[in-house]
A and B are shown apart, each in its own frame.
Chain A
Amino acid sequence: MIHNRHDIADIIIPATTDHLGEVRRFISDRMRTCGCNEFEEHGVILAVDEACSNLMLHAYQNDPSKSIALRIDISDTGIDVRIMDTARPFDPSSTTLPNMTSYFEERRSGGLGILIMSRVMDEISYRTTDNGMNELLLRKKRRP
């Protein structure tokens, strides 16, 4: 159990999908250091992977000259992951989530990343920072 402390760590990675493993390891290492349980860890890894995958594939088209910055802030009340980029502004929290009944009926594929994020995290919010970056905040509460 962590008391009255924050563990904050940052990483910057190239915006290509071959770096997704590095993203997952970064989140996993920090959460294990802070005593998070496996259930919390898997959910946060999944949400961050989905957010980064969307940026890499759709915002940056796997361009290795672009990068994504991540910050994880773990306290005894919650886990906050901030994902920052300089691509065209896009607010994932404002998109309409797919209805899975019609998704299956229509045999659609793709477009499930934001739904996964919303199901495993407690809060998703987006803002443009003072220096013009996109910042996506993924928050998971920790239960005592």
Chain B
Amino acid sequence: MSTFIANASHGSRGTRVISLGGYLDAHTASDLEQMIERTIGDGCVRIIVDFSDLEYISSAGLGVFMVFIEQVRSASGDIKLAAMKPKVFTVFDLLGFPVLFEIYPTVEDAVGRFPEPSEA
């Protein structure tokens, strides 16, 4: 069994924070894909992914973010990534993902990079 947890909550500045825990691999990536799909379906394109409790990620997990990034950016939104453990960041870094995705030390830092909704 691969244990994986994903919870979505409302953040400030009109963001949705998706908090991940456990192991994100080829078995569990579809759970995250469905959650991001629902979030966008709800009309939210300001997505922050909180990696605080994520222990492990493989390329299947990275692939989920590639699936949606164009869609949210073309709607003036973004998927910002935050609070990765070093082992998880290593996998993103290994493939050059920081070129395409903004990665912040904390969720608060990531939220602060979105303008206030009235300014958007």
Which single residue of chain B is at the shortest CB-CB distance from A52? B26
**Interface range for B:** 20 to 34
For residue A53, CB closer than 8 A to chain B, the reply is yes
Tell me, in angstroms, the Cα distance from A56 to B25 when the chains sit together: 12
Interface size on A, residues (CB 8 A): 25
In the complex, the number of residue pairs spanning A and B with C-beta atoms less than 8 Å apart equals: 69
B94 contacts A21, CB within 8 Å?
no
The reply to whether the CB of A122 lies closer than 8 angstroms to some CB of chain B is no
Contact B63 A20 (CB under 8 A): no
Main DSSP-derived SS at the A contact region: helix
Within the complex, the shortest CB–CB distance from A13 to chain B, in Å, comes to 12
Q: Is the CB of A100 within 8 A of B95?
A: yes
Q: Chain B residues near A134: list those with CB within 8 A.
A: none
Chain A residue nearest in CB terms to B90:
A42
The 7 A-B residue pairs with the shortest CB-CB distance in the complex, in nearest-first order: A17-B27, A109-B66, A53-B26, A112-B59, A21-B2, A109-B63, A107-B70
